[in-house]
Amino acid sequence: MNKDLAAAWKKAEESGEKIPIGNIVVCDQCDIDYTSRDDRGGIILGSNAFCPSCTPKMLADVARHREEHYIRARCQRDRVLFRDVARPPAWVFVMIAAVIGVVYIALILLIQMLLQ
Ligand SMILES: [Zn+2]
């Protein structure tokens, strides 16, 4: 595990308070530190990040249990770095952008209906 994350984890256990983990990226399945690695692929399933190595087995388990609806983000294996998708600010930003887009379209449709 990433030593900075281990230290933050220990501090959180001792204090009982939330500790920001910054840009640290660690696979929730195998604990490998991806903070500085350029591996591509991986998924966000529920609140967990699975690295490119763990993803195939996890996707098989997801399909077996029909839990595809828990997949929140999926890296295109040849294009997206796991660390960029696994960092909360990245996928939170994508979700916020999607919500803003939907609200924007709904407002345009509403304005068009009111103008008719
Ligand atoms: Zn992994």
pLDDT in tens, 44-56: 999 899 999 999 9
Q: Is the pLDDT of residue 14 over 60?
A: yes
Domain boundaries, the chain: 3-88
Mean pLDDT of the chain: 83
Ligand 1 center from residue 56 Cα (angstroms): 10
- Count of C-beta atoms within a 10 Å radius of residue 1: 12
Around ion ligand 1, residues with a beta carbon closer than 5 Å are 27, 29-30, 51, 54
pTM of the model: 0.62
Residue 89: the pLDDT is 54
Ligand 1 center from residue 66 Cα (angstroms): 21
- Measured distance CA(73)–CA(79) in Å, rounded: 14
- Measured distance CA(116)–CA(84) in Å, rounded: 44
pLDDT tens track for 56-102: 999 999 999 999 999 988 887 666 777 877 776 555 555 666 677 78
Residue 43: the pLDDT is 92
